[in-house]
Amino acid sequence: MPYDSEGNFTRVHNWEDDRINDIDIVSDHHDEEDDNFAEGLSNCFLRDGRSAMKGDINCAGFKITNLGNGTLSGDSVNRGQLDDTTNTLEAAILSAVNKMFRLGDIKASLQSSNHDNWFLCNGQAISRTEYSDLFEMIGTNFGAGDGVKTFNLPDYQGKFLRGLGGDSESDFYTTQEEGLPNIKGNFGSVTGNSATLSGPFKKESVTGWGGDESWHNGAILSFEASRSSSIYGASDHVTPINQAVNYFIKVKEEA
């Protein structure tokens, strides 16, 4: 159909003149209908792109089908291109997240079982062949498995994890047992208000009437563990307040 340079539909000739001149046409169009038809076709897509579209396209629930792949920055893209882009983006994000964690990393999680190459640190035995890189890293330090085909993962059930160094154990593999510092002290002879004391013992002077209604000066000895170590008295319990989680170890890196 003919369009002008502004994207408006134009007539090749006047259909009303054809009717007056007895020229056969498929149907009779009055000028108003003809104008409505022209208006409806104006400002639509031009195949050769001579002029820009002047309004939105209302497809009335229909689709634009068989759209080719967009190649330029201003081109439309089709569903296939969007799906490919989404899949590529998801794969890139997953790869980036996976690379944040390396073989042998430990994480705390509310997951309850092995997942996505993260295995529960419950001392379980796993294949030396399938998880050869981890086996090379930790060997049989947490247990030899069956001694031939498997080895054990660490067992962190019921344990707090602690930074290596200081007064911790000297390696990753040895469990440091529970303990409290010893309480040491002594006292020598106590005479009147004098006493030789050390450690958690202390002297408190006592002055008052004795049983024989005579005036006495003396001392009593008291025991306070905090005098031996400040760890005592700092809390009403040994176990710190806590909540359980599961620890997992990264057993294999993604390809």
Please tell me whether residue 109 adopts helix, strand or coil conformation.
strand
43-100 per-position pLDDT tens digit: 566 666 666 666 777 778 888 889 899 898 888 899 999 998 888 888 888 777 777 8
Cα separation of 250 and 118, whole Å?
A: 5
Has residue 27 got a pLDDT over 60? no
- Write the DSSP assignment of 173-207 as a string of letters: SPPPPP-------EEEEEETTEEEEETTEEEEEEE
Does the pTM surpass 0.75? The reply is no
Write out the E strands in the chain: 106-109, 118-120, 125-127, 150-152, 186-191, 194-198, 201-209, 215-223, 246-250
* Model pLDDT, residue 5: 64
Reported confidence tier of residue 31, pLDDT bands at 50, 70, 90: low
Q: Residue range 219-247: average pLDDT?
A: 79
Residue range 97-137, pLDDT digits in tens? 777 889 999 999 999 999 989 999 999 999 999 999 999 99
Q: Where are the beta strands (DSSP E) in 16-160?
A: 106-109, 118-120, 125-127, 150-152
The total number of residues shown for the chain amounts to: 255
Give me the amino acid identity at 168: S
